[in-house]
Amino acid sequence: MARKCCGLRAYEKLQNLVARGAVKKNGKKYKGLPSALANAIAQQNGHLAGVK
């Protein structure tokens, strides 16, 4: 049950990353774009874009 819930949450987060352009979806395969992923995780942690 917990694993299923975690799967749903992970799928939702993955689709968010795809929508934000941080992950590229090719058929059933997902590939991360490192720079966009770094930006996405920084924003999620409350950092400002472009501020070191």
Partner 1 sequence: MLLMAAAFMPAIARSVDLGKLPSPEVITKHLSPIVSSQRYDRDGYVAESLGPITLDQAAIGLAILSSVGTAARQQAATGFGSWAPSSSSHAAASDKQPIAHAVGGKPAGRPVPFRHSLEFQPRETKEKCCSWAKTCYLSHLMAILKKNAFSRRVPDLVTEELVAVLSRRSSFEFKQLFDIVHENLRARNAASGGEEMLRLASL
Binding residues (CB under 8 A) for partner 1: these are 2-3, 5-7, 9-11, 13-14, 16-17, 22-23, 26, 28-32, 34, 37-38, 40-41, 44-46, 48-52
CA–CA dist 52, 42 (Å, integer) = 10
Other C-beta atoms closer than 10 Å to the C-beta of 20 total 13
Please give the Cα distance from 12 to 3 (Å, whole number): 14
